[in-house]
Structure 1
Amino acid sequence: MKSKPQVLAWLTCDGVHIDPGSGKHTILGVFSNIRAREFPVTHPRMIWFLTISDVPAGKHMIRITLGLDPMNMNPLIEREFESAGPLQRINLINEINNLNFDEPGDYSIVIEVDDEPLLATSITVSN
């Protein structure tokens, strides 16, 4: 039976530092909402940090989409990654620059691996 990838961690943050000696990840500035004085607004930079496991060995494709309307999502990230096998914990650091929000609301975020939805979450943008 083929295992389905599992989400172990999902964080929105300002940055991720990887220690060159130990390989440990330090997560900087975790946040779950964005406040703006006026709209549209552009958020200059954020990181979507994702840890997954149970990914079969080989190459895989991750897609992350965002939108106010879950039926009309905009693709933000589409990239390949590799897994050594289902026991490996894979940390994916996804940098998002100059993300535009036209209006306040709860923006849906959907994460897929190989066209299979893994996680649906949201980020609140308010004034």
Structure 2
Amino acid sequence: MQSKPQVLAWLTCDGVHIDPGSGKHTILGVFSNIRAAKFPVAHPFMIWFLTLSDVPAGQHKVRISIGVDPMQMTPLIERPFESQSPLQRINLINEIRNLAFNGPGDHSIVVEVDDEPLLATSITVTN
């Protein structure tokens, strides 16, 4: 029986540095909400850092979508990745540029691997 991929980490941050010698990831500027003086607003740059495990060996696809209404999500990231083994921890660094928000509120984020939802979370935008 094949296990379902698991989300080990989900962070919204300003940057990720990968040490060339050790391969360690340093996460910079973790945040969970965005403050805006006026709307609409575009957040210039953020990273959605995702760590997965229990991903069967082979090629896979991650999709990350966002929306105010969970029934009407807009895909922002769709990218392939490879797993060497279900024991491998896979770090995916997803750069988001100029993400627009029309107004304050909670914006749903859904992470899927191979069209299977693994995580539903949100980011809050306030004024």
TM-score between both structures, scaled by the size of structure 2: 0.99
**Aligned residue number for residue 15 of structure 1:** 15
**Aligned residue number for residue 126 of structure 1:** 126
Within-5 A mapping of 1:62-81: 62-81=62-81
Shift of 1:77: 0.1
**Aligned residue number for residue 92 of structure 1:** 92
**Structure 1 segments of 4+ aligned residues over 4 angstroms from their partners:** none
> Structure 1: which 5+ runs fail to align?
none
* CA deviation string 1:69-101 (max 9, x = no partner): 000011000000000010000000000001000
Aligned residues: 127
Shift of 1:8: 0.4
Which residue type is aligned with residue 121 of structure 1? T
> Structure 2: which 5+ runs fail to align?
none
TM-score between both structures, scaled by the size of structure 1: 0.99
Q: 1-side partners of 2:36 and 2:27: how far apart?
A: 23
**Aligned residue number for residue 111 of structure 1:** 111
Which residue type is aligned with residue 103 of structure 2? E
* CA deviation string 1:24-83 (max 9, x = no partner): 000000000000000000000000000000000000000000000000011000000000
Shift of 1:108: 0.2
Please report the RMSD computed on the Cα atoms of aligned residues, expressed in angstroms.
0.3
**Aligned residue number for residue 34 of structure 2:** 34
Identity of aligned residues (%): 81
